[in-house]
């Protein structure tokens, strides 16, 4: 009897599709924001680690020809430990 008076279900497929698209876009936006947050945290941690560790490069003098070798004397008999 419902068919005689046009009492069928309304077509909601367009609204359902729109809702599905909104949910997908929101999910993608959340994932992108999370990835950006992770990338930023990694950059900050790398900077902090670089400042903390530093390495030996900052200790080497630019004025020497080979700073890794340290100070070298031309005289072989020069003892730096005090023995003469």
CA distance 77 to 17: 89
pLDDT in tens, 50-77: 888 766 665 665 666 665 666 665 555 5
The answer to whether residue 1 scores a pLDDT higher than 60 is: no
Q: What is the pLDDT of residue 32?
A: 98
The answer to whether residue 11 scores a pLDDT higher than 70 is: yes
Residues ≥6 apart with Cβ < 8 Å to 67: 60, 61
With CA atoms as reference, report the closest residue to 44 among 32, 56, 34, 52.
52
Q: What is the pLDDT of residue 12?
A: 86
DSSP for 30-47 reads HHHHHHHHHHHHHHHHHH
The predicted model scores a pTM of: 0.48
């Amino acid at each position: 009897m419902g068919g005689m008076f046009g009492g069928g279900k309304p077509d909601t497929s367009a609204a359902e599709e729109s809702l599905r698209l909104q949910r997908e876009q929101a999910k993608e936006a959340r994932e992108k924001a999370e990835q950006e947050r992770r990338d930023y945290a990694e950059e900050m941690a790398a900077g902090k680690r670089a400042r903390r560790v530093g390495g030996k490069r900052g200790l080497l003098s630019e004025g020497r020809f080979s700073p890794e070798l340290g100070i070298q004397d031309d005289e072989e008999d020069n003892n730096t430990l005090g023995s003469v």
